[in-house]
Structure 1
Amino acid sequence: MYFDCITSKAKYQIHLSVVLECLAICEQQGHVPIIEKSWWNDTQRRYPGIVISLEDMKHVSQEKPIYCERSDDPIMFIVAAQNDELTLDFVSLLAIVSIAEEHGVISKLHDNWWLILENIYGQPLIRA
């Protein structure tokens, strides 16, 4: 499943498996609450190609932090696609996860997971 993402410069599509790998990175870096192992197991059954262990993500590199006063995002992703680099921000990542839940292409995360996330960041986050 692909999601359309639109920036001020371009429109691009991102595959759900890329978003799920970004979610795994967020979890391992402590940016989101821990997700139940059974959820990840079900997700890997649906999308066998995704890698959820940071150590196994050979295609992922961590860059030095860039601090920006205009952004509240705890983490940003640069996704390489063909000859282009695309940025995926934290809120967009969560929106895609929420939409994927609503369409049944991934299992629903517990409501408590979303509530903890809202408590961490002090605001309601996007949910379908």
Structure 2
Amino acid sequence: MKFVNVRNAVALALAAAFMFGATGCAGETERIESVQIPGVWTGAGGGRVEFGDDGRFELSGIPSDAVVFSFIDPPPKGEKVSGQGTWSVKRKGSIVGLIYDSTGSFAEGGEAGTLGVADGGDSPKLYFSTSSDREYGYEIHKSG
């Protein structure tokens, strides 16, 4: 159990460092409040993330190249990613941290990821950041 906790901490630290590199130099960072997160968020090509107000999420149809896999072999390019886990707002609302359960595309539990905040405010947008060369990766927006 201690190994998994260390692994989670390392993965989250790497993801946070990656997010800082991707958004830290882009000027003012957008922010989002925890109360804005629950609901269904959708992206291009049928990607969907449903965030519960209980801190759980379930995703499906997310392009495999939108998700950074740090400890397990990623699915083949072109496949869609699915899974579930827990979410929480981090870094004073500038990122949403994800911890994946061992379901769907995630064979091992404890894989960590982040979503950056592309837009806060009334029409929030989140994104899976996959490259420090691009400011935003695969975007999702709140439906309805």
Higher helix share: 1
Q: Per chain length, whose mean CA-contact separation is higher, i.e. which structure has more relative contact order (CA < 8 Å, sep 6+)? A: 2
Q: Answer yes or no: same fold by TM over 0.5.
A: no
TM bin (shorter chain): under 0.3
Higher strand share: 2
Q: TM-score, normalised by structure 1?
A: 0.24
